[in-house]
Chain A
Amino acid sequence: MIITAKVHKFGDDINTDDIIAAKYLDSQDPEFLGSKCMENIDSSFSSRVSKGDVIVGGRNFGCGSSREHAPWAIKGLGISFVIAESFARIFYRNCINIGLPILVCKDASKIENGQTVNVDIDKGIIEVLETGDKYYCDKFPDFVKEIVNKGGLINWLKKGV
């Protein structure tokens, strides 16, 4: 599957308080959470996102708390997937578990804000349309790939491990 999407760029160590502030954690509604996404660091972010856009982060994206509200906020906002140089561990597994596509790309920092990318999710190749540059993503380990392919942890479990 190939997706064409506009890039919203963030730096290193974007934490889960940045992604969704704790005061909103009384909600479990992805759409509401999405409307508050990144509010502490970029108050107009949610209003600039169009459905299908991508977030590109630097190192350690999603560090901090275990709140699954963070990937749900990103998903609820309509972001199609997140690319980063590296992900914090609990955020990474939360994305896998809820079926929010993520890609680990060591060249993520070379992608710029506002660029448009073609992403071949199966092959893990990102092409920047403006420059023609191609970047390659890490492959998921087989174990994780199986959960991703089933659409998340609950489906993986229900289909019998």
Chain B
Amino acid sequence: MGLNIVEKILLSHSAKKQLEDFVYAKVDFVFSNDITGPLAVQEFEKAGFPKVFNRNKISFVCDHFTPARDLKTANNVKLLKNFSSKYGIVNFFDIDKCGIEHTFLPEQGFFKPGDLIIGADSHTCTHGALGVASFGVGSTDLAAAIYSGKCWFKVPEVIKFIYKGKLNKWVSAKDLILYTISDIGVDGAIYQVMEFSGPVISKMNMDGRFTMCNMGVEAGAKAAIIEPDQETFNFLKTTPLLKGKINKSSFPKLCSDKDAKYCRVIEYDVSKIEPFVSAPHLPSNGKPVTKFKGVKVDQVVIGSCTNGRLSDLEVAAKILKGKKVKSNVRTIIFPGSYKVYRQALDKGFIQIFIDSGCMVSPPTCGPCLGGHMGILAEGEVAVATTNRNFIGRMGSPKSFVYLSSPAVAAATAVKGQITHPNNIK
């Protein structure tokens, strides 16, 4: 029996010749943020670990409550800064240098196909888009790995998703993943890996692939993964850390064997999928956008680790160009990183947003998790390109979040109610 791509990566990082149910594997990179990092540091110090495994392979990205919301959150950033300085950790990033971890780290070139990485954030599954086995963990896992450079894993089963057919206008990666989660449910891939494949994925750009993999965890997945190809390679070539250092032969071909074992194979004809929206309070509550006609909104949020990349802002700008957002609809754009922000500025998107009445925020996770920079009051309704719409996720336990693509969110901002982008002339 052949191996799938995740099994191959796990095996190559373990000391065993054959995979068993559990592996204790070496990790190539570990990272954390200003929420999970301080708890990891507390556990690390409580344990009395004397050193870190490799000062170049550990990163703290301050993105959740930054720019610091208040004194407590400022102190948490300082705690990570002091810890990094004490142990010589090179990759400490304060908000002035980075962006959202899942946008910033890959665009810098920290990850490459075949790597095994862990992050103390559930959306660590994003990086599977590069052919990386990328697993979200907790703070104690992280503390242990900062010391040992290792982590324990149950070897997961893999579900193969095949996307075929022609995409309808305005249907994006976000619509496909909301559709998929709504099909299999929020525990449809629990403990399993979602492998995305098929002609639609082969043609999809990296931004879209990151979006798809990012939301794997919303179906309970341990990880999501896409076989690396020319598109992956073209992306890696643009990253500061890998630029000029890689060529096509740098990575051995990494793909699942033809006879690899999958627990399920699910095929979708994307030509049947319309722009999709997930209603409160689960990402799996999805229906075509037209089913939500007349739902009025108080806030629109475009950005996050799910949809804060350049192509996301591009599609929003295309819809908002020359238009005004509806009065009394707060429209907040938060680019995923400074690189994205700068590119959006160069391409004129930021000007379009400001002229249309949007507020452009610095890169932060802020509003997505109800941290700051866009909290909902009781009774308020938002359309957001983020990843979760749980009760109270974006503020009041009596507020309501609908998840959508950037195109639907931008169209909704113009009309003040949930709108199919086709209806913006």
Residues of A within 8 A of B (CB): 13, 15, 17-18, 21-23, 25-28, 39-41, 59-60, 63-69, 71-72, 86, 88-90, 93-94, 97-98, 141, 143-144, 147, 152-154, 157-158, 161
Contact = CB atoms under 8 A, between A and B. Distances in A.
A32 to B, nearest CB: 11
Nearest to A71: B138
A157 B43 CA distance: 13
A141 B42 contact: no
B47 to A, nearest CB: 5
A97 B140 contact: yes
B392 A154 contact: no
A131 B396 CA distance: 40
Contact of B72 (A26, A90, A153, A157): A26
Contacts of A144: 22
Nearest to A26: B72
Given A41-B397, A90-B138, A153-B141, A28 B390 contact: no
Given A17-B393, A26-B73, A88 B144 contact: no
16 contacts: A13-B186, A17-B392, A23-B371, A26-B70, A28-B39, A39-B397, A63-B220, A64-B388, A65-B369, A89-B222, A90-B122, A90-B136, A141-B21, A143-B22, A153-B144, A153-B152
A65 B47 CA distance: 24
Given A13-B187, A66-B124, 10 more contacts: A23-B371, A25-B35, A26-B69, A64-B390, A66-B121, A67-B36, A86-B190, A89-B220, A153-B152, A154-B43
Given A41-B397, A60-B187, A86-B190, A18 B391 contact: yes
Contacts, number: 133
B198 interface: no
A11 to B, nearest CB: 12
Given A69-B39, A86-B190, A97 B392 contact: no
B138 A93 contact: yes
A88 B47 contact: no
Most A C-beta atoms less than 10 A away, residue of B186, B187, B282, B392: B187
B220 A94 contact: no
Contacts of A21: 370, 392
B54 interface: no
Nearest to B150: A161
B313 to A, nearest CB: 24
Interface in B144-159: 144, 147-148, 152, 154
A23 B388 CA distance: 15
Contact of A90 (B22, B39, B137, B186): B137
B402 interface: no
Interface string B370-387: 110000000000000000
B138 A68 contact: yes
B140 A28 contact: no
Nearest to A91: B138
Given A28-B42, A63-B186, A67-B35, A153 B191 contact: no
